[in-house]
Structure 1
Amino acid sequence: MTCPCDPNNTYENCCSIAHKNIKAVKTAHQLMRSRYSAFVMGNIDYLQRSHHSTQRPSRKEALEIEQWSKTVKWLELEIVQTTLGVEKDFMGTVEFKAFYIENNQEEVLHEHSRFCKENGHWVYVDAI
């Protein structure tokens, strides 16, 4: 199976590694890609685990996100730019575009996301 975040890579060699062990994620960029794949696959547990503890959606909100993610057809992820967020950093940002189809209309989620390390691994904080 190809990886949702990169059709030139297999899921097993890409985001599966992060989904199985979040501590294996070395950069904010890698976390962003693994979160996109989790949205595509409806992996709400990983989305919750990879969200900063102070910003994490409630269980009800998480279920709504999961339901929504399953109603759209995800098309592709485009990373626009990253700032910091490498293994030695504590914080970083990733600007991305996630393309999808909802109600027969192509949409794009364009976000500049902030990431930091919490408990020794990268997590999503918020959109800036």
Structure 2
Amino acid sequence: MESFHIIVLTIATIILIIALGTIGLLMDQGNKAGPFPPISLKCPDGWTETSATSTTGDITYTCSSSTLGRNLLSGDGITVTNGSDKMLSYNDKSTTTCSKYKFAQRNNLVWDGISNYNS
């Protein structure tokens, strides 16, 4: 081989080793972060925040009569305004991630960042 090819291959090999080492260090630092997922949604999937959420912490869920039978009414903080309304609310102003997790499990809710939480 000519000396030009040897120099190019040597420089490319050194750059590759440095790049792979840097990527490995960055990946290792990512494993030492806190619990996964680092953030969670304010509401369970399919729920929406009401306009009063910023002051009262109310979160509402609009559902059909078929979903009312999924035991959504059995958790703390859930209320139905009257027997025929299909609007549920959950107040999460002062609840912890653990209590939200228990609430989601008890009511068969999928809550991204809560139902898949590991501490």
TM-score range, shorter chain: under 0.3
Q: Highest Rg: 1 or 2?
A: 2
Normalised TM-score (structure 1)? 0.21
Higher strand share: 1
Higher helix share: 2
Ranked by relative contact order (alpha carbons within 8 Å, sequence separation 6 or more), the top structure is 2
